[in-house]
Amino acid sequence: MGFDFDPTLTRETVTITNADGIRVSVTPTNPAYVRRFFNRGLAREINVQDDNEAIDAANYLLNRYKQPTQRVEQLVLDPAANPDLWPVVLTVEIGDRVTVVRRPKAANSGVGIVMSGDYFVEKISHDGIDMEKSTWRTVLQLSPVDLSQVGFLDDAVYGLLDSTMILAY
C-alpha cells in the first residue's frame, strides 16, 4: 500500500444541466491547470427547483475535482497472516467508509511520517484463497472521501467553522 496523488480524478470543466432549466459550465481560471491535467470534463443532470442550485452544484463539483487528491489505489489485507483482520475482511462492503493509516515501520525505530485518509470502498476482490495452505488475500479498491461537511450554525458540535466545513447559502 502506498499513498500517491491521483490526477485521474481531476476535471477541468464541469457541466450541470437542470431538468427543465439551465445548463451551467464552469472551468478553473488557471490555464496552467489545463496544460498539466488535460481537458477532462464532468457532466451531470440534476433535477432542482431553482437554477441557482444548479450553479452551486457546478461550482461545488469543480472545487471538488479541480486538484489531484491523495489516494490509495488498493489495499491488500492478509487475514491468514494477521487474524485480527478477519472481522474486517468478512464484514466490509462496497460503499463502506474506511480510514487507512500508514505508520512508520518498526525497522525504522518508529521514525517517519504517519499518513492517514478516509476512503470509500469501491471494489472488493478475494484472491489467493487456498484453505489447504491457509492463505487468503483480500484487495480493496478505494476512492477518497470529500472532507467538506454540512454544518448546523446553531449547534455547539456541528456548527464549528473550520477547514472541513464549507459555508454555503
How many other CB atoms are there within 10 angstroms of residue 106's CB atom? 7
Give the model's confidence band at 65: pLDDT under 50 very low, under 70 low, under 90 confident, else very high: confident
Between CA 40 and CA 24 the distance in angstroms is 16
| pLDDT 10s digits, 70-87 | 777 778 888 888 888 888
pTM of this structure = 0.56
Between CA 6 and CA 14 the distance in angstroms is 18
C-alpha cell at 89: 475482511
